[in-house]
Structure 1
Amino acid sequence: MTTDPWGRVDDDGTVYVRTSEGERVVGSWQAGAPEEALAFFRRKYDSLVTEVELLEKRLRTTDLSAAQALAGVDKLRAAVREAHAVGDLDALMRRLDVLAERAEERKVEQKHAQEQARTHAREVKERIVAEAERVAEETTHWKSGAERMRALIDEWKAAPRADRPTEQALWKRMSAARNSFSKRRKAYFAGLDAQREEVREAKEQIVAEAEALSDSTEWGPTSGRYRELMQRWKASGRADRASEDRLWARFKAAQDAFFQARNAVFAERDAELRVNAEAKEKILAEAEQELSSISDPRRARARLREYQEAWEEAGQLPRDSRDRLEGAFRRIEEEVRRAEEKEWQRTNPEARARAQATVDQLRGSLADMEEKLAKAREAGDDRKVRDLEDGIATRRSWLQEAEKALEEMS
């Protein structure tokens, strides 16, 4: 009989392995020496050792899941219990027990990590959903809102998954927010289309009125009507782009036709009025020269009336010189009016009486102050002397101005 620390081969070739539970048969060997039998069954044991070592390494160096590790331990335990091998099978079992403990620890760690990951995933997706709901409820910038909603859907797809009930509940809110935004946007554009249609109809009416006026020869009233139509056009809002461009082209064509015709008539009329401008240029020059040399306002007024009559008789002015010539003539009229006003003020009895009263008052005040000054000097009151001298100097200057004004009224 050939023996080994962990097994033996009986004389009849039966091979045994020793365990803590006693011996058990693992096979038989009839083809050679007993040592060869033990070596053969030890190699089978070594294979089991290799498998245990491999599982230990995977658990130590990789992210092997606890479930996979425990499944591997159970498989190897069964293999060791039923192993047809010779070796320290109890030691292998103890190593597998250690592996099982480590796998259980990893199970707890992975469960905790999964819970943290799910919590994080829930927080991420709740944030995404909350923003989607805000976009759906508040956004009125539809283009940027649609872009943001698409970006949030992409963020949702890229985000980690939470637990199934949470995932379903959050996706239901996300989908509802997206549908709500789509409905609001569709309703807005539907209302916008209706509004643009109303604007188009209003502008169709404006254009029809503009075209009806394009042949008018009532230049003043029709010009006013075109201004009113332009104000209505601007106040009515915007139709769709194609209608807006088409209607504006028609409106502008009608308006241009009228104003081109009006400008042609006015240009012809202005040419006929050149002779009037020449006559008024002559009247203006004569009036400026003569009236500036007349010192008597009454005589200047009488002469101005003659120039005014001549001015009216000369007729209308062309548009390009109307403002300049009319303005120059108005300035001559204003100069005559101011000269009359000045003369009236100069000869006004009430004004002269007020001027005389002012002069008398200032003279009396000066006499009183000069008397006080003399007394202050006698008393040696230098401060009062200085104050009175300053006051007298001021009133003398006032008196000079008042006497001058009174003299001009004489």
Structure 2
Amino acid sequence: MSSDPWGRVDETGTVYVRTADGEQVVGSWAAGSPEEALAYFERKYEGLVVEIGLLEKRVQTTDLSAKDAQTAIGHLREQIDAHHAVGDLDALRGRLDKLVATVEARREERKQQRAKQSDEARKAKEDLVAEAEQLAQSDQWRAAGERLRALVDTWKGLPRLDRKSDDDLWHRFSHARSAFSKRRKAHFAQLDAQREDARRIKEGLVAEAESLSGSTDWGPTAARYRELMTQWKAAGRAQREHEDDLWNRFRGAQDVFFAARSSVFAERDAEQSENLKLKEELAEEAEKILPVTDLKTARAAFRSVNERWEAIGHVPRDARPKVEGRMHAVERAIQEAEEAEWRRTNPEARARAEGLTGQLQTAVDKLRAQIDQARAQGNSSKADKLERELAGRQALLDQALKGLQEFGG
């Protein structure tokens, strides 16, 4: 008979293994010595040790599912319970029990991790839906469209939830995208219609601008071009493929007109500058008439200057007030001399002046007599009042006498 700490072979060749529940039959051996029998079943035990070690490592270091791990543990436990190996089978059972606990712990950990990931995914998708619903009302078509596309990519990268929750959130998300697309499509359809209207309007403006480009009615045509420009700006933009071409035609027609006008005005400016020089010479000649000493000679001289003045054309607008003002000053001086001569030689006016002067002189003399009488009577307040009245009458008399002197006496 042969034995070791964990098993033995009896004289009949039966192999036993020692366990906590007593000896268990491992099998029979008749092909060799008892030592060879024990060695054979010990090797089978070592094989179980290796398998359990590998399974422990897989559970700890890989993503082996709990179900697959439990299946492998059950298979190993069946082999141990069959007692077809010699060794510390109870120790192997203990290792399997620990491994079961480890698998359960890993299962619970993964369950909690999945629950956490699910909560995070739910929150992330709810946030995506909320942002998409907000973007659905945006008028920032390019930026909002790009952001919605980015949200779709983000959604695809998130884990799925339970079917109902995932479907409900996706429905809201998809509805928000559809609502934005519908609004954007309507906006651009309206914009296309507006641009088509703008194109028709601008084609009409271009046609009129081109018809006016040869006009020589400078003022009204320039004013009409300004009106056309105002209408152009109010019309809005046409389609991109038409806008630049229409603008080039519109601007080109204006350039033709204004270039022609500038050429004509340049010639006119040169002519008016020469006219200004001539009128300045005439204004200088007219100013030499002053002061007026002989009214008849002065009138004749001014008439000669004025006739030559009228024969000269326009001068530059900004120089006109000054040069015309010089002529007007001479003309006013001659008119004032004529008025003074008329007043001096007008008998009716002289008679009226003499009558007024006489009336004022009488009133002044009367007031002086009244003042002397009041002083003599000792009535100072009355005398003072009469003197104030006398001052006013005297001033009028002095003015009337001055006017009378203009009549030569």
Same-fold call, TM cutoff 0.5: yes
Per-residue Cα deviation, 1:264-307 (whole angstroms, up to 9, x for no partner) = 444455555555333212134446x659x7699xxxxx99x979
**Residues 69 and 103, structure 2, Cα contact 8 Å, conserved in 1:** yes
| Residue in structure 2 matched with residue 252 of structure 1 by the alignment | 251
2:307 aligned with 1:313, yes or no?
no
Query: Could you tell me which amino acid in structure 2 is paired with residue 8 of structure 1?
Result: R
**Residues 9 and 37, structure 1, Cα contact 8 Å, conserved in 2:** yes
| Residue in structure 2 matched with residue 209 of structure 1 by the alignment | 208
Query: Could you tell me which amino acid in structure 1 is paired with residue 76 of structure 2?
Result: L
Instruction: Calculate the aligned-residue CA RMSD, in Å.
Output: 3.7
| Residue in structure 1 matched with residue 71 of structure 2 by the alignment | 71
1:139-218 alignment runs, 5 A limit: 140-218=139-217
SS where residue 137 of structure 1 aligns?
A: coil
**Residues 7 and 15, structure 1, Cα contact 8 Å, conserved in 2:** yes
Gaps of 5+ in 2: 294-298, 334-401, 403-409
| Residue in structure 1 matched with residue 279 of structure 2 by the alignment | 280
Query: Could you tell me which amino acid in structure 1 is paired with residue 12 of structure 2?
Result: D
- How far apart are the structure 1 equivalents of 2:183 and 2:14? 87
- How far apart are the structure 1 equivalents of 2:292 and 2:161? 105
2:327 aligned with 1:326, yes or no?
no
**Residues 65 and 106, structure 1, Cα contact 8 Å, conserved in 2:** no
**Deviating more after overlay: 252-261 vs 114-123:** 252-261
**Residues 283 and 327, structure 2, Cα contact 8 Å, conserved in 1:** no
The percent of aligned pairs where both chains have the same amino acid is 52
| Residue in structure 1 matched with residue 230 of structure 2 by the alignment | 231
**TM-superposed deviation, 1:115:** 0.8
- How far apart are the structure 1 equivalents of 2:308 and 2:43? 138
**Residues 2 and 34, structure 1, Cα contact 8 Å, conserved in 2:** yes
**TM-superposed deviation, 1:36:** 1.0
Gaps of 5+ in 1: 297-301, 340-409
Per the alignment, do residues 225 and 32 of structure 1 end up closer, same or farther by CA in structure 2, a change over 3 Å counting? same
Per the alignment, do residues 122 and 338 of structure 1 end up closer, same or farther by CA in structure 2, a change over 3 Å counting? farther
SS where residue 216 of structure 2 aligns?
A: coil
- How far apart are the structure 1 equivalents of 2:98 and 2:73? 10
**TM-superposed deviation, 1:7:** 2.8
Query: Could you tell me which amino acid in structure 1 is paired with residue 155 of structure 2?
Result: W
| Residue in structure 1 matched with residue 366 of structure 2 by the alignment | none
**Deviating more after overlay: 92-101 vs 252-261:** 252-261
| Residue in structure 1 matched with residue 365 of structure 2 by the alignment | none
Per the alignment, do residues 268 and 57 of structure 1 end up closer, same or farther by CA in structure 2, a change over 3 Å counting? closer
SS where residue 31 of structure 2 aligns?
A: coil
**Residues 214 and 258, structure 1, Cα contact 8 Å, conserved in 2:** yes
Per the alignment, do residues 219 and 73 of structure 1 end up closer, same or farther by CA in structure 2, a change over 3 Å counting? same
Per the alignment, do residues 272 and 53 of structure 1 end up closer, same or farther by CA in structure 2, a change over 3 Å counting? closer
**Residues 283 and 310, structure 1, Cα contact 8 Å, conserved in 2:** no
| Residue in structure 2 matched with residue 88 of structure 1 by the alignment | 88
Query: Could you tell me which amino acid in structure 2 is paired with residue 159 of structure 1?
Result: L
SS where residue 39 of structure 1 aligns?
A: helix
Q: TM-score, normalised by structure 1?
A: 0.69
Query: Could you tell me which amino acid in structure 2 is paired with residue 9 of structure 1?
Result: V
Query: Could you tell me which amino acid in structure 1 is paired with residue 319 of structure 2?
Result: L
Q: TM-score, normalised by structure 2?
A: 0.70
- How far apart are the structure 2 equivalents of 1:148 and 1:283? 79
Query: Could you tell me which amino acid in structure 1 is paired with residue 28 of structure 2?
Result: S
| Residue in structure 2 matched with residue 220 of structure 1 by the alignment | 219
**Residues 283 and 307, structure 1, Cα contact 8 Å, conserved in 2:** no
**TM-superposed deviation, 1:333:** 7.8
Q: Larger Rg: 1 or 2?
A: 2
Name the count of aligned residue pairs.
Answer: 333
SS where residue 155 of structure 1 aligns?
A: helix
Per-residue Cα deviation, 1:53-99 (whole angstroms, up to 9, x for no partner) = 33334444556554443333222212222352112222321221222
Per the alignment, do residues 334 and 171 of structure 1 end up closer, same or farther by CA in structure 2, a change over 3 Å counting? farther
Per the alignment, do residues 282 and 128 of structure 1 end up closer, same or farther by CA in structure 2, a change over 3 Å counting? same
Query: Could you tell me which amino acid in structure 1 is paired with residue 90 of structure 2?
Result: D
Per the alignment, do residues 160 and 338 of structure 1 end up closer, same or farther by CA in structure 2, a change over 3 Å counting? farther
1:347-386 alignment runs, 5 A limit: none
